Amino acid sequence: MRTLRRHLSYSLPRRAYTSYRRTINNINEQNEQFIMKLSVLLLVAGCMFAFNKQSGLAWMMDEGGFYENTLRKYSGSLTGEAVAFFFPPQSNSFSPLHNANGSSTCCRNSTKVNDNQAWVDEVKVSNPAVSSKTRESKNVFVVSAVTRQQPDVLICLRKALILAIITSIFIIFLHLQRTLNEQICLASPQKVTWQLLLFRLLPLRTLSRVNGYTARLNFPYFLRILLWSLFVWLFDVKLHEAENESLSSYKNFRSLFKRRLKPGLRPINMSSGLVSPVDGKVMYVGTLTDDYNTIEQVKGVQYSLKAFLGRGVLPRYGRSNGMVLHTAVLYLSPGDYHHFHSPADWRLHLYRHFPGELVTVSPWAVKHMPGLLALNERVLLSGQWEHGYFSLTAVGALNVGSIYIDKYEELKTNVKGHYKFNTYTDKHLGKVGDQLVRGDHIGGFNIGSTVVLIFEAPSSFQFNIKPGDSVKYGESIGTI
């Protein structure tokens, strides 16, 4: 019997604890994001219950109940009735009504009057010492409500609930910060921002899949003209540059996003050292000077080069003697031409797909979220050009779950299911690789996103663009 007791007291709790830790570890690895998002939804539901219209916020005013020395004024005659509305219903603990001469006689009767749980307290006040002239006039009475002495169970539960909600939000924030620290430290040496934590709570990948499905739906003719015209107006779409200028011919949003330009509209600058691969806005251009550890997405906001490119890319392909690593970040707005082209003559050796977040890459987000470009889903095209290493990376964003590459047909982005940070899938093209000529069509996005160029070039290379400039594909962006 003693052995059995020892076994029950030590073995079972240990096994239970081991099973608990194993379950927690599996949750953290497989379903962490789902659980965190579900927790937030439950907290929101709890807040809605705690702050419903029947209780309002009055119960938070003091520890004892609803009111604390609350003064209200009501008009009435001395011989009539002063009607006071209390919301929600009060207890029987009231101070008396005081009339103009200081006497204090009253009686109370509470009656429910509507479905909003409002109650009416009818208080009769009489004062024989007042003259008849005063009795006939309208007077103002001050009602002083005393806090209830023993709040009911529902009020106590609601107070406990709001404390639990505040504590839960704080714990979730700390948990997110802890779990994101490893990712952010890999993606950027800078501090985690609350904006990024907030975006991580949102089901952005699911939202992007839903929007992608909606973008493929065919609309009837009368809706096309209305919706497409609104889109063209909102995002300043230059429809006159499109190969097909007829709005009614685009059956769905996706076909409008993927519109082609008129042939010959964008002449390729063949004499330039480097041309723009997209129509877009310049977010950042510069060189790397800190042993190639970090890179800037905008001025002063960094991300990790190793996390962005993955392992084995730079050591394998380059950093030739006497060369400097340069970068350019180009943003495509929803109204821009959504295809990207080869910016130079180079040989492609590797496709690398990084599953990741789909946080917006708008100029505001890139400025306030360090490491964003290394966290989002992206497709890296890596290879060599005449000066050493060369890469073009298409970065996904909110509502841009679809990145397509012409010669990478098996590529599938924003696939439903869990993904692990800093994992990727490679497709090697061998030592020979695939030769690309400047201006060649490579692939495209839906709606808009970002393209990042990272390449080696001599120290004499100079960008002829600056942040804030608008560029067109085929235009010169740098010279050697």
d(CA 135, CA 430): 103
pLDDT of residue 195: 63
Q: Which of 369, 386, 383 has its CA nearest to residue 450? A: 369
Given pLDDT bands bounded at 50, 70 and 90, which one contains residue 357?
A: confident
pLDDT of residue 243: 87
Q: State pLDDT tens for residues 402-411.
A: 788 888 888 8
Q: Which of 78-87, 148-157, 184-193 has the lowest mean pLDDT?
A: 78-87
Q: Does 205 have pLDDT greater than 50?
A: yes
Mean pLDDT (whole number) for 46-67: 42
Collect all residues with Cβ–Cβ distance below 8 Å to 234 and sequence separation of at least 6: 335
pLDDT of residue 359: 73
Active site residues: 279, 341, 449
Mean pLDDT (whole number) for 358-387: 79
Taking the mean position of all CA atoms in its chain, how far away is CA 386?
41
- Which one-letter DSSP state was computed for residue 397? B
Pairing of strands 280-287, 339-341: unpaired
Q: Does 364 have pLDDT greater than 50?
A: yes
Mean pLDDT (whole number) for 280-305: 74
The whole-model pTM stands at 0.61
Q: Which two tokens stand for residue 293?
A: 């550890």
- Around Cβ 150, how many Cβ atoms within 10 Å? 10
Q: Which of 395, 281, 256, 270 has its CA nearest to residue 331? A: 281
More confidently predicted of 226 and 123: 226
pLDDT of residue 186: 53
- Around Cβ 88, how many Cβ atoms within 10 Å? 18
Q: Within the chain, how many helices (H) and strands (E) appear?
A: 13, 22
Pairing of strands 450-458, 470-471: unpaired
As a whole number, the mean pLDDT across the chain is 67
How many degrees, rounded to 5, is the angle at CA 260 between CA 255 and CA 266?
A: 160
Contact predicate 349/284, CB 8 Å? no
Q: State pLDDT tens for residues 314-333.
A: 755 545 567 888 899 998 88
pLDDT of residue 26: 46
Give residue 374's identity as a one-letter amino acid code.
A
End-to-end CA distance of the chain: 87
Q: Which of 77-81, 232-236, 241-245 has the lowest mean pLDDT?
A: 77-81
CB-side neighbour CA atoms (13 Å) of 472:
11
CB-side neighbour CA atoms (13 Å) of 173:
11
Instruction: Return the SS3 of 22.
Output: helix
pLDDT of residue 277: 93
Q: Does 207 have pLDDT greater than 80?
A: no
Give exposure, 437-475, as e/b (b: 16+ Cβ within 10 Å).
ebbeebbbbbbbbbbbbbbbbeeebebebeeebebbbbb
Q: Does 167 have pLDDT greater than 50?
A: yes
CB-side neighbour CA atoms (13 Å) of 140:
4
How many degrees, rounded to 5, is the angle at CA 371 between CA 365 and CA 375?
A: 90
pLDDT of residue 202: 66
Contact predicate 452/326, CB 8 Å? no
More confidently predicted of 452 and 6: 452
Q: Which of 27-31, 139-143, 197-201 has the lowest mean pLDDT?
A: 139-143
- Taking each helix axis as running N to C, give the angle between helix 32-50 and helix 194-201, from 0 to 180 degrees, rounded to the nearest 10: 90
- Top-ranked range on mean pLDDT: pick from 59-63, 161-165, 342-346, 356-360: 342-346
Collect all residues with Cβ–Cβ distance below 8 Å to 168 and sequence separation of at least 6: 39, 43
Q: Which CA distances in Å does 41 have to 21, 44, 70, 441, 450?
A: 25, 5, 36, 43, 31
d(CA 245, CA 336): 15
d(CA 363, CA 297): 10
Q: Which of 149-163, 209-223, 297-311, 335-349 has the lowest mean pLDDT?
A: 149-163
- Which one-letter DSSP state was computed for residue 7? I
**Domain residue extents for the chain:** 19-65+152-187, 67-145, 214-256, 266-479
More confidently predicted of 147 and 335: 335
Contact predicate 60/162, CB 8 Å? yes
Q: Give 379's strand partners.
A: 353, 394
d(CA 384, CA 344): 10
More confidently predicted of 128 and 300: 300
Pairing of strands 388-395, 378-385: antiparallel
